[in-house]
């Protein structure tokens, strides 16, 4: 019984303990959260926040695990708003009892997951990581000691996983980045002397003065570090570094002093095999080097020793050497031989500005082609001075036959270079190119290059460049791609600035071509690249098409040049322009045309304006002077003219117009018609009408039976057009049909809808014998002068027009004109005379008539019906019954 009772008590006690372990985090979570935030806020000048805190007593018993989720550290002034640190999770482990201490917590391990650390030193030398608050001096040493006892680290292991660390020094123009950074260590750091075993791997990048010396190179380091906390010395005991696939071993130490660090490290390659050289090249380019046949040596050795403080860096001497080496990949036909390399990277003073790189020799041979180079770079950290020489010949096709370059298309051609250059970066940055010294020539013949980014392969039959102190002169450039042939000469003013200072290419060129086809420079994009939804727009409409690809033309952003161009034929889509001459200015992703002239459609075209592809939607702004365009040809070739003046498509003859327009462009630089705005003054010189090709003319003749469209006089038509928001407004203009004046005005849309009115002023003489009763009392001159206005309303679309006339209004107008004419003639003859005349006109009513008013009204209505019959006969189908 006692045993059962004891087990029962033990079970209850264990249950209570488990319950306490589960409930305690909830009870003390707020206290711990407040304690963490209180300590942070009291010690740093930054805004710290985290989404949540988790405390677990059971999962790591007898250790407690505390984690902060989505923790961030945001800088205050002068880096206000910048993120210094962010991590998905930061966790620590400690004894459960440590949770209940107000101070003196001991942390045994910690881990950081998916951190992003951004360290920045601005141009004034201030660092964003300097966020610790200054502690005031105190005479109470016990209080000072107590302040340092809030936390103590007895770390046995730690880990930083899948993180990124970036260091940017604006003052030194330097950036160091570690991507995919993983680091872990284990050891008892609570001891005065201990050993820490670490593993590190990352992708390392290093940029200085806009030059990328290392770009995402893989680094793996296994290191055993001896730690002496009393001396603050960290010794490298057993260490192996892999830079890409190049192994390095090193030893030495780093000692931390109050205001400086002392460094003494040596390193070298463990072997001298030339494969070491191939191993230092990134794996994406070096491929598998295990089966590569090599001869000769490649060695790297160096020593770094000295003090690091605000003024000094350690002195160093690094030597890289290879002599009479060669390599051949088993799957490639060519080998690279006679490889010689001698390079030193040295600093003898401990001052960063005195660092220099001396490439005494770099040479190799492929077949019989030998390439040589040497260079010296002085003062690399402040104002780097460069002296270099390149002398050699290369068959470009042999490069990919000797080395596995990751290229989809092979190069070809012979490159011969003999160049000497000397410059300093300050002169380049300040555009003082007169301080540079360049001389030599480069010749390229038989060069061919093909790429998915180009519609056709580019073949350069001959190119010759001369390097002068201030400029680079293009003496000869002969090339062909697709249908296009190019001949160019010119001058580049800032090649050094483009290469080293991220400047745009500035130059002036003369370009000539027998045939220049813009289609040769259009590239089909994959579905989804042209528009957000993956579709494309139908050229000229702004509507989506179902095409899987879309041709896109972009004006290069790095060009800042002026081109005087001429071409016998320029092909744009299905349009051919002849004798093209003009000036093209390319700057800021905009192409500006000045005085561009061309023969096209048996006439002349002059253009001034610009096209910009800088924004997501390309735009254009043009002024065009069109002279003597053949109307039929131009309307077959230009959708824009069809949209602006669709009726002109049925005309035969010449077109003159001054056209100003602007709007958006599709990716292939055809206009989005619904966005076009502007105006035009158009003159049409017609020689005929294509009557069989217009439903609009058919609609007019069916409503106006007297109209013979072949007799319309459309010569010398002038009108003013304005267009905006997808609509073309046409100011009133006049045309003639025999001696009938026709006034036309209205508008149409780029969606092919029409809203026009054509007012016909028809002379009364055309009414003939059917109107004799109405016109009997008028003389011949009066009959000539009297006209009847009839308005034809034109709606619908180009392909399905609708035409209607205002017949009722015309009847009323005719009757009122006749009555008004008679009243005016008899106004001086008295009331009875006017009454008798009107009675005769309207059916014979006179002063002495015994007919009733009802009879007179019926006769007047009969007159109106007669007039209506006359007009319907004129503007529509005649009635069979004409007895009235």
Question: Which of these three, 407, 432, 449, is where a domain ends?
Answer: 407
User: Taking residues 182-202, what's their average pLDDT?
Assistant: 88
- Cβ-Cβ contacts under 8 Å for 577 (sequence gap 6 or more): 569, 570, 571, 598, 599, 600, 605
pLDDT digits (tens, 9 = 90+) for 11-65: 444 444 444 444 445 445 666 666 666 667 677 788 888 887 777 765 555 677 7
Q: How high is the pLDDT of residue 163?
A: 93
CA distance 736 to 742: 6
User: Taking residues 752-775, what's their average pLDDT?
Assistant: 70
Q: How high is the pLDDT of residue 419?
A: 93
Res. 540: pLDDT tops 50: no
Query: Are 297 and 163 found together in one domain?
Result: no
Of the pLDDT bands very low, low, confident and very high (cuts 50, 70, 90), residue 761 is confident
Q: How high is the pLDDT of residue 750?
A: 77
- Cβ-Cβ contacts under 8 Å for 12 (sequence gap 6 or more): none
Q: Helix, strand or coil for residue 109?
A: strand
Q: How high is the pLDDT of residue 572?
A: 74
The structure tokens listed for 875 are 């503007």
Residue 596: inside a domain, yes or no?
no
Residue 617: inside a domain, yes or no?
no
Res. 848: pLDDT tops 80: no
Single out the residue of 827, 858, 824, 859 nearest to residue 844, CA to CA: 859
- How far CA 849 is from CA of 293, 647, 837, 843, 856, in Å, comes to 132, 57, 13, 12, 10
Which string of DSSP letters, residue by residue, matches 316-379?
EEEEEEEEEEEEE-TTSS--EEEEEEEEEEEESSS-GGG-EEEEEEEEEEETTEEEEEEEEEES
Unique residue bearing structure tokens 């034109």: 794
CA angle 528, 532, 533 (to 5 degrees): 70
pLDDT digits (tens, 9 = 90+) for 698-724: 667 666 666 666 677 666 677 888 878
Question: Which of these three, 141, 172, 203, is where a domain ends?
Answer: 172
What is the average pLDDT score of the chain? 77
More confident site: 649 or 92: 92
Return the bridge partners of 620, or none. 611, 663
Q: How high is the pLDDT of residue 18?
A: 42
Residue 619: inside a domain, yes or no?
no
Res. 531: pLDDT tops 60: no
Return the bridge partners of 228, or none. 193, 233
More confident site: 94 or 353: 353
Of the pLDDT bands very low, low, confident and very high (cuts 50, 70, 90), residue 804 is confident
Long-range pairs, 261-265, Cβ under 8 A, ≥24 = 261/307, 261/308, 261/309, 262/306, 262/307, 262/308, 263/304, 263/305, 263/306, 263/307, 263/308, 263/314, 264/304, 264/305, 265/236, 265/303, 265/304, 265/305
- How far CA 686 is from CA of 268, 421, 654, in Å, comes to 89, 66, 6
- How far CA 830 is from CA of 271, 827, 850, in Å, comes to 135, 7, 21
**% of the chain exceeding 70 in pLDDT:** 69
The structure tokens listed for 205 are 């990048």
Neighbour-count burial of 609, counting CB atoms closer than 10 A to its CB (0-12 exposed, 13-18 middle, 19+ buried) = middle
CA dihedral 443, 448, 452, 456 (to 10 degrees): 110
User: Taking residues 189-199, what's their average pLDDT?
Assistant: 86
Residue 65: inside a domain, yes or no?
yes
Residue 95: inside a domain, yes or no?
yes
Q: How high is the pLDDT of residue 148?
A: 44
Res. 697: pLDDT tops 90: no
Domain count, the chain: 2
Query: Are 164 and 277 found together in one domain?
Result: no
CA distance 635 to 647: 10
Of the pLDDT bands very low, low, confident and very high (cuts 50, 70, 90), residue 680 is confident
Q: How high is the pLDDT of residue 140?
A: 47
User: Taking residues 619-630, what's their average pLDDT?
Assistant: 87
Of the pLDDT bands very low, low, confident and very high (cuts 50, 70, 90), residue 567 is very high
Res. 741: pLDDT tops 60: yes
Residue 194 zone, left/alpha/beta (φ > 0; ψ -120 to 50; rest)? beta
Q: How high is the pLDDT of residue 646?
A: 67
Unique residue bearing structure tokens 């009839």: 790
Name which of 527-531, 619-623, 673-677 the model is least confident about. Answer: 527-531
Of the pLDDT bands very low, low, confident and very high (cuts 50, 70, 90), residue 556 is confident
Res. 853: pLDDT tops 90: no
Query: Are 159 and 306 found together in one domain?
Result: no
Res. 147: pLDDT tops 50: no
Name which of 119-123, 541-545, 644-648 the model is least confident about. Answer: 541-545
CA distance 705 to 873: 8
Query: Are 154 and 303 found together in one domain?
Result: no
Of the pLDDT bands very low, low, confident and very high (cuts 50, 70, 90), residue 362 is very high
Which of 336-345, 593-602, 841-850 has the highest mean predicted lDDT (pLDDT)? Answer: 336-345
The structure tokens listed for 188 are 């008892």
Q: How high is the pLDDT of residue 142?
A: 44
Res. 173: pLDDT tops 70: yes
The structure tokens listed for 179 are 């991507």
Return the bridge partners of 251, or none. 266
Residue 89: inside a domain, yes or no?
yes
Residue 122: inside a domain, yes or no?
yes
Query: Are 402 and 277 found together in one domain?
Result: yes
Res. 141: pLDDT tops 60: no
**DSSP β-ladder status, 727-737 and 603-612:** unpaired
Unique residue bearing structure tokens 């005087």: 564
CA distance 633 to 610: 25
Q: Which domain holds residue 91?
A: 1-128+150-172
Q: How high is the pLDDT of residue 114?
A: 94
User: Taking residues 642-653, what's their average pLDDT?
Assistant: 65
Of the pLDDT bands very low, low, confident and very high (cuts 50, 70, 90), residue 546 is very low
Query: Are 166 and 25 found together in one domain?
Result: yes
Which of 106-115, 206-215, 335-344, 865-874 has the highest mean predicted lDDT (pLDDT)? Answer: 335-344
Q: How high is the pLDDT of residue 503?
A: 80
The structure tokens listed for 570 are 């320029």
Of the pLDDT bands very low, low, confident and very high (cuts 50, 70, 90), residue 835 is low
| DSSP run (H or E) holding 854 | helix 853-875
Query: Are 168 and 35 found together in one domain?
Result: yes
Q: Helix, strand or coil for residue 694?
A: coil
pLDDT digits (tens, 9 = 90+) for 477-492: 999 988 899 999 999 8
Query: Are 275 and 399 found together in one domain?
Result: yes
Phi, psi of 231 (to 5 degrees): -95, -5
Q: Helix, strand or coil for residue 123?
A: coil
The structure tokens listed for 542 are 């702004």
Res. 339: pLDDT tops 90: yes
Query: Are 311 and 166 found together in one domain?
Result: no
CA distance 665 to 780: 61
Q: How high is the pLDDT of residue 19?
A: 42
CA distance 242 to 220: 5
CA distance 195 to 679: 83
Unique residue bearing structure tokens 């609570």: 190
Asked whether the beta carbons of 751 and 725 are under 8 A apart, the reply is no
To the nearest 5 percent, what fractions of the chain are helix, strand and coil? Answer: 25, 50, 25
**DSSP β-ladder status, 315-328 and 293-295:** antiparallel
Q: Within 10 Å of residue 155's Cβ, how many Cβ atoms?
A: 19
Q: Helix, strand or coil for residue 197?
A: strand
Residue 111: inside a domain, yes or no?
yes
Exposure of 330 in the CB half-sphere (CA atoms within 13 A):
7
Res. 136: pLDDT tops 70: no
Q: How high is the pLDDT of residue 461?
A: 93
Query: Are 49 and 162 found together in one domain?
Result: yes
User: Taking residues 598-618, what's their average pLDDT?
Assistant: 88
Asked whether the beta carbons of 548 and 481 are under 8 A apart, the reply is no
Phi, psi of 749 (to 5 degrees): -105, 160
Single out the residue of 461, 462, 457 nearest to residue 474, CA to CA: 462
Please give the model's pTM, rounded to 2 decimal places. 0.60
Question: Which of these three, 407, 426, 455, is where a domain ends?
Answer: 407
User: Taking residues 129-137, what's their average pLDDT?
Assistant: 69
Res. 289: pLDDT tops 60: yes
User: Taking residues 748-754, what's their average pLDDT?
Assistant: 81
């Amino acid at each position: 019984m006692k045993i059962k009772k004891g087990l029962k008590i033990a079970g209850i006690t264990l249950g209570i303990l488990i319950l306490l372990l589960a409930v305690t985090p909830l009870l003390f979570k707020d206290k711990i959260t407040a304690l963490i935030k209180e300590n942070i806020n009291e010690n740093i000048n930054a805004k710290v926040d985290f989404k949540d805190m988790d405390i677990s007593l059971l999962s790591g018993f007898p250790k407690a695990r505390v984690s902060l989720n989505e923790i961030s550290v945001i800088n205050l002034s002068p880096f206000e708003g910048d993120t210094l640190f962010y991590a998905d999770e930061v966790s620590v482990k400690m004894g459960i009892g440590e949770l209940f201490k107000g101070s003196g917590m001991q942390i045994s391990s910690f881990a950081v997951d998916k951190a992003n650390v951004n360290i920045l030193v601005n141009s004034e030398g201030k660092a964003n990581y300097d966020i610790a608050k200054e502690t005031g001096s105190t005479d109470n040493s016990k209080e000072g000691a107590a302040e340092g006892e809030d936390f103590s680290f007895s770390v046995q292991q730690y880990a930083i996983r899948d993180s990124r660390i970036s260091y940017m020094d604006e003052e030194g123009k330097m950036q160091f980045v570690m991507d995919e950074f993983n680091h872990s260590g284990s050891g008892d750091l609570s001891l005065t002397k201990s050993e820490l075993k670490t593993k590190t791997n990352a992708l390392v990048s290093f940029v200085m003065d806009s030059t990328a010396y290392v770009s995402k190179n893989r680094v793996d380091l296994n290191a055993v570090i001896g730690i002496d906390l009393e001396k603050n010395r960290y010794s490298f005991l057993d260490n192996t570094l892999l830079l890409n696939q190049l192994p390095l071993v090193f030893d030495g130490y780093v000692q931390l002093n109050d205001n400086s660090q002392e460094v003494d490290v040596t390193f070298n390659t463990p072997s001298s095999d030339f494969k070491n050289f191939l191993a230092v090249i990134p794996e994406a380019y070096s491929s598998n080097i295990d089966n590569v046949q090599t001869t000769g040596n490649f060695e790297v050795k160096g020593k770094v020793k000295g003090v690091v403080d605000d003024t000094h860096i350690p002195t160093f001497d690094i030597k890289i050497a290879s002599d009479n080496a060669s390599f051949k990949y088993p799957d490639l036909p060519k080998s690279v031989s006679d490889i010689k390399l001698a390079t030193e990277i040295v600093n003898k003073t401990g001052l960063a500005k005195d660092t220099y790189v001396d490439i005494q020799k770099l040479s190799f041979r492929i077949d019989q082609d030998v390439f040589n180079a040497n260079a010296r770079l002085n003062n690399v950290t402040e104002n780097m001075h460069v002296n270099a020489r390149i002398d050699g010949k290369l068959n470009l096709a042999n490069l990919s036959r000797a080395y596995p370059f990751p290229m989809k298309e092979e190069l070809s051609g012979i490159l011969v270079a003999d160049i000497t250059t000397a410059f300093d970066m300050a002169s380049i940055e300040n555009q003082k190119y007169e301080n540079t010294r360049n001389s030599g020539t480069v010749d390229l013949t038989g060069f061919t290059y093909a790429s998915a980014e180009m519609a056709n392969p580019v073949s350069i039959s001959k190119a010759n460049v001369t390097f002068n102190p201030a400029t680079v002169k293009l003496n000869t450039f002969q090339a062909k791609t697709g249908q296009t042939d190019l001949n160019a000469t010119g001058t580049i003013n800032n090649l050094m600035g483009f290469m080293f200072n991220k400047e745009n290419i500035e130059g002036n060129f003369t370009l000539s071509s027998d045939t220049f086809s813009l289609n040769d420079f259009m590239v089909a994009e994959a579905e989804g690249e042209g528009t957000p939804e993956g579709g494309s727009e139908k050229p000229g409409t702004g509507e989506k098409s179902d095409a899987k690809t879309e041709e896109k033309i972009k004006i290069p952003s790095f060009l800042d040049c002026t081109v005087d161009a001429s071409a016998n034929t320029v092909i744009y889509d299905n349009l051919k322009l002849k004798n093209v001459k003009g000036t093209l200015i390319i700057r800021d992703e905009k192409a500006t045309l000045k005085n561009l002239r061309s023969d096209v459609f048996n006439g002349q075209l002059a253009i001034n304006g610009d096209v910009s592809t800088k924004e997501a939607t390309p735009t254009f702004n043009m002024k065009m002077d069109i002279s003597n365009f053949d109307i039929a040809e131009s309307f077959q070739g230009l959708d824009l003219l069809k949209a602006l003046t669709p009726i002109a498509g049925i005309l035969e003859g010449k077109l003159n117009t001054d056209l100003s327009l602007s709007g958006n462009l599709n990716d292939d630089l055809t206009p989005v018609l619904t966005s076009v705005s502007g105006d035009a003054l158009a003159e049409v010189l017609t020689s005929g009408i294509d009557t069989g090709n217009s439903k609009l003319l058919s609609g007019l003749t069916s409503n106006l039976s007297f109209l013979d469209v072949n007799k319309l006089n459309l010569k010398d038509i002038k009108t003013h057009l304005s267009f905006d928001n997808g609509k073309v407004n046409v100011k009133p203009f006049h045309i003639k049909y025999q001696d009938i004046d026709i006034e036309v005005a209205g508008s149409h849309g780029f969606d092919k809808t029409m809203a026009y009115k054509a007012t016909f002023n028809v002379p009364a003489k055309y009414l003939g014998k059917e109107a004799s009763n109405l016109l009997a009392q008028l003389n011949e001159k009066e009959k000539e002068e009297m006209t009847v206005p009839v308005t034809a309303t034109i709606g619908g679309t180009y392909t399905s027009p609708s035409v209607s006339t205002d017949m009722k209004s015309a009847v009323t107008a005719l009757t009122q004109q006749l009555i008004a004419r008679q009243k005016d003639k008899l106004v001086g003859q008295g009331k009875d005379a006017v009454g008798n005349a009107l009675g005769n006109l309207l059916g014979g009513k006179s002063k002495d008539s015994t007919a009733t008013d009802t009879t007179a009204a019926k006769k007047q209505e009969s007159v109106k019906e007669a007039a209506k019959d006359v007009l319907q006969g004129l503007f529509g189908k005649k009635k069979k019954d004409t007895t009235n």
